[in-house]
Structure 1
């Protein structure tokens, strides 16, 4: 691992223009690395050896990227939750992992994700590309304020770790880690930011918005604020709103959002080009439908296939990467598609695209998560969490168990969790019942979803859900001809 670090510190060519501007070479390298990782995992990862045996796959017969498409997909249910943490590790050992991150699983039982140094180096490589080319940290004295959740959660952990790694390359920046606390972040902004030419605030987009809005006494326009978001997507109107609050006019380089997850790490990233393309289709419904095959606007990112090899299978994103524990054709269950650089740009021949960076990396676009998972402040609320609420004996007397949950926004762009539930036949809504299910929902989420509990302790009532109760068989959400637990 020491040699890996030395090699990374001295590598000046990974993102030189000859490579990042060569679309075919980058795609081919990504394919070869995915195949090589598959064969290594088939030999050295006990769980994957068992998985391939159960599916009667001889890895020696998988020699081309076309062959690779025949390898069965893995997911949380058939792989992560089926095999032990040890069996999913290289050589069945945890000796070479320097840290283990965690996330709340769908049942509330934590899932653990071992990480080794190379994983951090890969993430730092992508961030270096963004920090130097977009935020220009090699030109401006920069303060990074990491307002992501700290502790054993991956986002804050990897952000801090990669900044420490990049500091070893000689970049002149300073990093502080106030965490999810608005109070601590504000202290940093007030007392430290004025000494720097720019401040990059890193956090979940709803949290960043809340910090800016709640502290209008700060002269944000004097601080040259930039943003790095993660955990949530947002609309271009939302981006405009935030940038207007801090007096930033450049819509393409001031707020960069990342796409990642606890299991897959950092996957994709916004670039000035992805933001420009998204702003174009936001104003052109016909073009958006042509490019993305949907009327809604997706989240759009570029990614490096040499680090994360992506496929789109049945409109779901599948990833192959050494993520500490190697994941081979792992379905992350985000709905979206993958396009090459040429495929995407061919849709915009009638537009003057000033892609100054000329990064010919492929694109991934997303419409959100599958299986009705909702997000709030960057964390997941799972259907199983709400089932636990409604299946409690005190709730079963009043509710059928059918529900819908979505992430919604107020007119002032504040995010909240909307939970719609169906009452049993003959039950009528009342203030008392509304209060009862509200209190039980908050209490249960805090008990079974550790990330929600930490959010609640940090932001209080801003984490509260909005709960609407509907009569039995309400046709819009709970038609009687479609009896499901959730839909």
Structure 2
């Protein structure tokens, strides 16, 4: 049976590579010299579908045959598969024939009596790939659209969300239509539905592990992880550990300095280390978390037994630990994996000098991770070179819409796993398959996306930096936050918590209500929290008032922010804000809320 379709395939189709390197299309032989453009477009799509179905059918049948021989699978299963394959492939060839003779519109928009029986009975569906136009879409769009179709059918909360907003999933077929799908946020979606309704088929038991995301506005969000989520995330770790750290060749101690417990960074890193061992990496893992004394003990007593040590954690915390380390760090072959905050290239250079003069820049590598998506992307030798080049190349910085004085975090990612869009205000939107699948989810990170072709064009003569460029890869620049949040040692501090502390007695009648909180970085890259507060007219500005403000704000943050509470336990008074008092009228309204330092981002 399958061989018969293999012969038909060779009669039907002739492969050609299109000028768009992001996909290949199959061109049928036709007696028509110049078919109509709309016929040619649909025919190309259906030809690709035919070839895909034939290839998948052959692969699946081979697997069934092996199972039948090895495990004694009943022959009936193979016969049933043959019958189903004939049905599906016949339908695809019928679609192709209608495309060739120009009657394709009936196949795509049939009346209720013209549908194929399998479709009419709900046993199958035409995938999103077959209804999108064959244009120059961004890498990952077709996968994102297909995911959207599945989520709209199988996730109870999202099905209700679309209905409430008057969106018919079947009408979304193009990038333009997809861009009109309502944005999902915590407030309008995640907080409105029960957890089980947010998951595939409403099945809460599909979660293999739960993580939490810190929040000082409302309770922490719980994020479930599935095997699919974890497998996708492991690919990010695997590329970093293979390309930058070469842990498949060297015995490696992986010290996890992210917060442990239910937080994302620590649990992901522990699972990643165990998975890397299964993939042949010589990795041993230890998890001291953000206990600096315990981490230093691991560095002193365990690290000497390994060829190299990978130290993972938040940039500010890792620097704090290494500044306290004993002995010469250059003799220890330390590598650094970072997340939670961005770093400047000056910070990277400072750490590279501490680790040794011959240490490659990518041995200090940043991953882009969010609680909602897990690891999205990572720095590569190319992205680091481009970021460093942009500091002294204003034309390149302008082409990438960067501030040359402070380039954003710049990582490579897989658009087929996580499709990223941007809004007019720079907000990043994520569409990703996870235990709670997300479509156009806004996390309040700000940035931009760049394709391989766009990056090569911006680089011009420097495009050789992109070693073996892959059109299916994407690049995301992360500039900061769009909400009132500042980052201090990777801890998110929301304006509401500070505002609430300042509006309570005995402070409220002495302060105007205007304040500004920033993360400041000194010449040695040490972070400090600076709180500027405006005083009411006629009120004294003295040390006692500064102390009261510091103590009230610190107590509020410790009570409402678990990660800050942990940080305060580790750093003590260094985690508390340094308060500066300002006369009435000297802090403007637009700086009333928290302003994040340009040295930090999420």
TM-score of the superposition, structure 2-length normalised? 0.73
**How much has 1:108 moved relative to structure 2?**
4.8
TM alignment of 1:166-185, pairs within 5 A: 166-185=276-295
Aligned partner of 1:320 in structure 2 is 431
Aligned partner of 1:123 in structure 2 is 233
Which structure has the larger Rg over C-alpha atoms?
A: 2
Residue 214 (structure 1) aligned with residue 332 (structure 2): no
What is the SS of the residue equivalent to 2:361? coil
Distance 1:485 1:254, change over 3 A: closer
What is the SS of the residue equivalent to 1:325? coil
**CA RMSD of the aligned region, Å?**
2.1
Residue 247 (structure 1) aligned with residue 356 (structure 2): yes
8 Å Cα contact 2:248/2:280 also seen in 1? no
Aligned partner of 1:19 in structure 2 is none
Aligned partner of 2:493 in structure 1 is 381
Aligned partner of 1:53 in structure 2 is 163
**How much has 1:146 moved relative to structure 2?**
0.6
2:547 to 421, 435, 453: 435
C-alpha distance in structure 2 between counterparts of 1:485 and 1:408, whole Å:
16
1:464 to 576, 587, 591: 576
1:350 to 461, 464, 473: 461
8 Å Cα contact 1:387/1:401 also seen in 2? yes
C-alpha distance in structure 1 between counterparts of 2:526 and 2:594, whole Å:
25
Matched pairs, number = 461
**How much has 1:169 moved relative to structure 2?**
2.1
**How much has 1:357 moved relative to structure 2?**
5.9
What is the SS of the residue equivalent to 2:584? coil
Long gaps (5+) in structure 2? 1-19, 25-136, 596-602
**How much has 1:349 moved relative to structure 2?**
1.7
What is the SS of the residue equivalent to 2:148? helix
C-alpha distance in structure 1 between counterparts of 2:334 and 2:348, whole Å:
13
1:150 to 228, 246, 260: 260
1:411 to 510, 523, 529: 523
TM alignment of 1:302-313, pairs within 5 A: 302-313=412-423
Aligned partner of 1:367 in structure 2 is 479
Aligned partner of 1:63 in structure 2 is 173
Aligned partner of 1:9 in structure 2 is none
Comparing 348-357 with 195-204, which one deviates more in the overlay?
348-357
C-alpha distance in structure 2 between counterparts of 1:127 and 1:471, whole Å:
50
8 Å Cα contact 1:274/1:302 also seen in 2? yes
Distance 1:56 1:455, change over 3 A: same
Distance 1:294 1:243, change over 3 A: closer
**How much has 1:359 moved relative to structure 2?**
4.9
What is the SS of the residue equivalent to 1:337? strand
What is the SS of the residue equivalent to 2:205? coil
Aligned partner of 1:24 in structure 2 is 22
**How much has 1:358 moved relative to structure 2?**
4.1
1:288 to 397, 407, 427: 397
What is the SS of the residue equivalent to 1:336? strand
C-alpha distance in structure 1 between counterparts of 2:494 and 2:576, whole Å:
15
C-alpha distance in structure 2 between counterparts of 1:143 and 1:227, whole Å:
12
What is the SS of the residue equivalent to 1:417? strand
Aligned partner of 2:103 in structure 1 is none
Query: CA offsets, 1:11-49, max 9 Å, x none?
Result: xxxxxxxxxxx9625987622221122112111222211
Aligned partner of 1:10 in structure 2 is none
**How much has 1:142 moved relative to structure 2?**
1.2
What is the SS of the residue equivalent to 2:496? helix
1:99 to 195, 199, 209: 209
Distance 1:354 1:140, change over 3 A: farther
Distance 1:485 1:211, change over 3 A: closer
C-alpha distance in structure 2 between counterparts of 1:59 and 1:352, whole Å:
40
8 Å Cα contact 1:402/1:486 also seen in 2? no
TM-score of the superposition, structure 1-length normalised? 0.90
Distance 1:80 1:422, change over 3 A: farther
Query: CA offsets, 1:307-366, max 9 Å, x none?
Result: 111011112111000232011001122121111011112122233744446455211112
**How much has 1:400 moved relative to structure 2?**
2.3
**How much has 1:220 moved relative to structure 2?**
1.0
Residue 233 (structure 1) aligned with residue 231 (structure 2): no
2:409 to 274, 299, 306: 299
8 Å Cα contact 2:402/2:408 also seen in 1? no
Distance 1:287 1:427, change over 3 A: farther
TM alignment of 1:81-96, pairs within 5 A: 81-96=191-206
Residue 258 (structure 1) aligned with residue 367 (structure 2): yes
C-alpha distance in structure 1 between counterparts of 2:592 and 2:305, whole Å:
57
8 Å Cα contact 2:206/2:435 also seen in 1? no
What is the SS of the residue equivalent to 2:507? helix
TM alignment of 1:258-277, pairs within 5 A: 258-277=367-386
Larger relative contact order (CA 8 Å, sep ≥ 6): 1
Distance 1:271 1:219, change over 3 A: same
Distance 1:33 1:438, change over 3 A: same
**How much has 1:251 moved relative to structure 2?**
4.1
**How much has 1:51 moved relative to structure 2?**
1.1
**How much has 1:426 moved relative to structure 2?**
2.3
Q: Which has the higher helix share?
A: 2
2:448 to 330, 337, 362: 337
What is the SS of the residue equivalent to 1:468? strand
1:278 to 387, 403, 413: 387
Comparing 298-307 with 63-72, which one deviates more in the overlay?
63-72
